[in-house]
Every structure is written in C-alpha cells, then in structure tokens.
Amino acid sequence: MTRRLVLSYVAIVAVVLAVLEIPLGINYARSERDALVTNLERDAVVVAGLVEDQLQGGTRPVEADLGAYVERTGIRVVITDADGISVIDTDGDFAVGRDYSTRPEIADALAGGRASGSRWSATLAGDLVYVAVPVASGGQIHGAVRITYPGAEVDARIRRNWLLLAGVAVGVLATTAAVGVVLARWMTGPTRELGDVVAEVAGGRLDRRARGDSGPPEIRDLARRFNLMADRLEELIQSQRAFVADASHQLRSPLTALRLELENLADTPADELEPTSLDRAVDETRRLSRILDGLLLLTRAEGVRPEPAVVDVAAIVDDRVRAWRPVAEEYGVTLSSPPSDPTAALAVPGHLDQVLDNLVDNAIEATPIGGRVQLTIHALGQLVVVRVEDDGPGMTDADREHAFDRFWRASSARPGEGSGLGLSIARQLSRASGGDLVLGPSEMGGLLATLTLPAALV
C-alpha cells in the first residue's frame, strides 16, 4: 500500500511538472530563436547602412572594417553587389567574387525583401541561422547583406535550459517521493497495526487493543472505536461465561431437589403418598420457572438495546404505585408517592416500568408490617432522579456492594423466595436507557434505591 501511495503521489506531480515545464521549455526555445533572428536582422540593417555608400560609389569595402564586430559576435557577414556577387566575406574560406544570386535568401534580399530562417550546413555539421536584407537607397537596390550564426550556440542554451528544467523535475520528484514515503508510512503504519490487532482479537486474544495515538485523525478515531467495540465484546463474553457458570450453579440445586422428590414419589406406594411431597416437587418446579424467567429477562436486557424515547416519568410512577398499592396493603405496608409535575426523561419504552416493579416489589417484601414505602421524583439539571425508599431493615455496606451480583440474595431473605436476579436485571435495564441504579441508606431508616435517567429536552 505504501508503494502504491508513493507512486500515485509521484505520478500526479510528474503530470503537473510535464504540464508546466514542457510548455515552458518550448516557449524558451522559441523565444531564444526569435530573439536571435531579431538581433541578427538588426545587425544586418546596421551593416547595410555602413556599406551602402561604398556599394553605391563602387569602392570595395575592406574586411577589416567588420573585423571587430565579427570577432565580438562570432558571426559571418557576406555582402554582395546588385548582381549577387560577393564583395566581402568575413569567412576566409570563401573567396570574394563568388556568385550568391542563386541562394534563396540573397535572391529575396536583392528583390527588396528580407529573409530569415535556418538550414543545415555541411561545413559546420549543424544548423545555421541566417538573415538577409537589401542594401538600398532612393528605391534602388545596390546589394545585399547576409549574416549567419551557428545554430549550435542557441541550441546549447536551449539544451541547458531543458537540462535545468529536467534537474528541477528530478529534484521535485525525489522530494515528492521522500515526503510521500513519510506520509504513506504515517498513514499505512497505524492501519497495518490496527489490522494486526483486529486479526489477533478475531483469533481469540480479547485483551489486545489498538494504540490509537498515531496516524491521521480518521485512523485514530477508528482505533478508538475499535477499542470500544473490543471492550464491549470482551465484557459480553466474560458476562456470558459468568452467566453460564452462575446459571449452572443456581439450577443445580432445584434440579437435584426436584429429582430427589420425584425419586421419593416413585419409590413410595400410591396409598402412602403424602400431599406435602407433591407440593415440594411443585415448589421446586416453580422455583426453576422463576430462575429461568429471570435468566431470560436478564439475557434480553444485556442484548441488543432499542433506542430510548421520551417518557413521562411522573405518569409511569403514579401508574406503578396504583398497581402495587393493593399488594402493599396485603403486606400491611403503606405505599405512597407525593404529587409531581410531568417530568420528561429518555428511557427505552417499558424498561422504566419493569425497574420500578422490581424495586417496589423488593421494598414491600423487605418492609415489616406497618412500614412505609415511598417513591419521589426530582429533576436535577440534565438528570431525572426517581427514589424508592422504605423504613425496613435496609442493607449493610457489604450487602449493598454485592446486591447487583447475579443470583445474590441477602442473608435475611426468606428461603425459596426470589431468584437473586431482580436487581441485576433492574440495573441492566436502567443502563440500557442511558441511566443507572444505585443503592444506599435511606433517611427513613431502610434502603434507598436511586434511579437516574437522562432528562429529555421538550
């Protein structure tokens, strides 16, 4: 992946460089050639003005007159008369008096025009840039001036410019590759590490976590989210293992008791059966049913959770108080709830009802005859608090610490009553709604159960 990223960076930069540098190099070459032709044409006009009088008067110019110019510029000057016969040539290899009238550029100049261009020179083994202008006065052509310059000079400058552009391109591409390697490793390193951690977690190492402190923000956020998922997965698996262990342990006792009762019934003649033996078997069956119902509800509470919705806490509290008041009266307990204004909170539909049912049921059973159970509602900032308290015996600090453990039952609980799952289920349902459930001492002298839910903005 690192190689692909670096190659993509280099390819993009190479395209940009090509789009920028190729036209730049072409324009530079064109401007150099155009500038050379312009300078040569200007010089040719100047030379034509110098030799005009001499050609017109018939006197022959001396090559030394142009020596300084030729020595300084390195160009060749050929001057012809009106018939195209050379009268001066700064190149000693060609004799004066040579006929140039057949040369196209000389012919154009003798016709009153100007000619410029380049052609191959076998003598120089390279291109030759030329300019030819007429020598005229009063509308009469007296001759022509041709200036030639080796194209190798301008080609060398153009080549140096191309080499400079190529060097810049190579430097930019090398820098891009180096920076690309650093960036690619910065991006792909954490990705590979996260992939390795995912593979290890998938292989059963639930304690492995991604670092999440390097790489792009998206990768760090993904690592944090993966760690949260891994924490949740580890928590669920550990909870499942504890659930299976606790369920196996709790179901063993009633199943054993039920098996013994049934064996006794099987070994006892029909005329000697006692009704109490059958009642004990039925009681053990009911106990098994309560445990299984609690396990099923707890499993649902720990499973996939629906989204919380806005509920009226005061209305639900009033409804549960009315539903449980007859039960409380049977136990000789006063169940009450002071009037409260409508209070909106966020909770999974149905969860608040189940939590209150569990808390009120526990409070009624724990409260002695003549005691009181009270439900109150308080709005505290961003939270809605429901308090369920009684004036019963309460719990010790040690009991409250273990009260939410599965299958835990207080030492003062009556044998055979309850499965020890109620408070665990109530806390799971509370947390599924984004709240929590805690226990503490009540000012009434008994136990205080405090349920918190997020307030709804309505």
Nearest to 142 by CA among 261, 52, 25: 52
Domain count, the chain: 3
Residue pair 352/316 in contact (Cβ under 8 Å)? The answer is yes
Q: Are residues 276 and 359 in the same domain?
A: no
Q: Are residues 316 and 293 in the same domain?
A: no
Alpha-helical runs (H) found in 367-421: 397-402
Residues 277, 409, single domain; the answer is no
Q: What is the pLDDT of residue 450?
A: 92
In a domain? residue 178: no
392 exposure class (CB count in 10 Å sphere: 0-12, 13-18, 19+): buried
- Let me know whether 253 and 317 are in one domain: no
CATH number at residue 222: 1.10.287.130
Range of the domain at 45: 2-156
Q: What is the DSSP letter of 99?
A: B
Exposed e or buried b per residue across 214-240, where buried means at least 16 C-beta atoms within 10 angstroms of its C-beta: ebeeebbebbeebbeebeeeeeeeeee
Same domain? 367 vs 333: yes
Task: Please tell me whether residue 392 adopts helix, strand or coil conformation.
Answer: coil
- If you ran DSSP here, which 8-state letter would residue 414 be given? P
* Residue 281 placed within a domain: yes
Running along the chain, 458 residues long, what does each successive block of 10 average in pLDDT?
78 88 89 87 83 63 62 81 84 74 88 85 73 86 87 84 90 87 77 81 80 76 84 77 61 63 64 59 64 60 67 90 88 88 84 86 88 91 91 82 68 51 78 88 88 84
Q: Are 21 and 46 part of one and the same domain?
A: yes
Q: CA 357 → CA 124, 227, 353, 405, 417, distances in Å?
A: 110, 36, 6, 19, 16
Q: How many CB atoms are closer than 10 A to CB 57?
A: 9
Query: Does 321 lie in the same domain as 249?
Result: no
CATH number at 87 reads 3.30.450.20
Together in a domain, 227 and 371 = no
Residues 281 and 329 in one domain: no
Of 268, 284, 302, which residue is a domain's last?
302
Q: What is the pTM of this model?
A: 0.46
Phi/psi at 92 (5° precision):
-65, -15
Q: Is 61 exposed, middle or buried (0-12, 13-18, 19+ CB in 10 A)?
A: middle
